[in-house]
Amino acid sequence: MTAAYLAAIRSAALRPALFVEAHFTSGPIYVWSGLGRITWGGHEWVGIGSLGSVSTIEESGTVEAKGITLTLSGIDAALLEDILVEFQVGLPVIVTLGLFNEAGVLIADPVCAFAGQMDQPTLEVNGTAATIAINCENRLFEMNVAVDRRYTNEDQQRDYPGDRGFEFVSSIQEAQIYWGRTPSSSNNL
């Protein structure tokens, strides 16, 4: 956090804004909670004002994967098909908290408030207007997913082709090893 950002948090008048970077199959979109366009971080952010919302971003004292919901309302219902074609589960989303000074200038280095992946969207259509809500899962959610990897030669070849470190693992699975004695010894029967 920069000194100017910290001073803005401590000031009597807080001027926050949320910046959402959401990735779709055709590329990322950059929107923010204000009006108009703003350039920050090498991107042009489009203001969506009150048409967009972000659910409460929760933190706790324990390690938990808490998700959020991004909502965009007032969408032309005819555009829903285009939106769904662009959507793919698992693509990244980042929500950043920015602060403005008294002159309306964005204070350097907004802070990441949430980083995760998009999950299934929920659609609600009322006449010609629609609302889309996208659930987003925290990166910690991946800790609950079973890892489908094994200590086999085939698995090792996926990451390191030509590595021979696991070449004999399958042959030693059921091998009988006589430690310190010969197989014909009377104690090994």
More confident residue, 128 or 136: 136
Q: How far apart are CA 20 and CA 93, in angstroms?
A: 7
For 48, residues 6+ apart whose C-beta sits below 8 A from its C-beta are 31, 32, 33, 72
Report the predicted TM-score, pTM, of the whole model to 2 decimal places. Answer: 0.69
Q: What is the average pLDDT across 101-106?
A: 88
Q: Which two tokens stand for residue 147?
A: 């890892």
Q: What is the average pLDDT across 87-93?
A: 90
pLDDT over 90 for what percent of the chain? 22
More confident residue, 132 or 147: 132
Terminal C-alpha separation, the chain: 70
* Angle, alpha carbons 16-22-28 (nearest 5°): 120
More confident residue, 142 or 34: 34
Predicted local distance difference test score (pLDDT) of residue 144: 62
pLDDT beyond 60 at 188: no
Other CB atoms within a 10 A radius of the CB of residue 182 amount to 8
Least confident span in 54-68, 81-95, 98-112, 172-186: 172-186
Q: How far apart are CA 79 and CA 99, in angstroms?
A: 32
- pLDDT tens digits, residue range 116-134? 999 888 888 887 888 888 8
Share the mean pLDDT of the chain: 84
pLDDT beyond 70 at 146: no
More confident residue, 108 or 149: 108
- pLDDT tens digits, residue range 2-41? 888 888 888 888 889 999 999 999 999 999 998 999 999 9
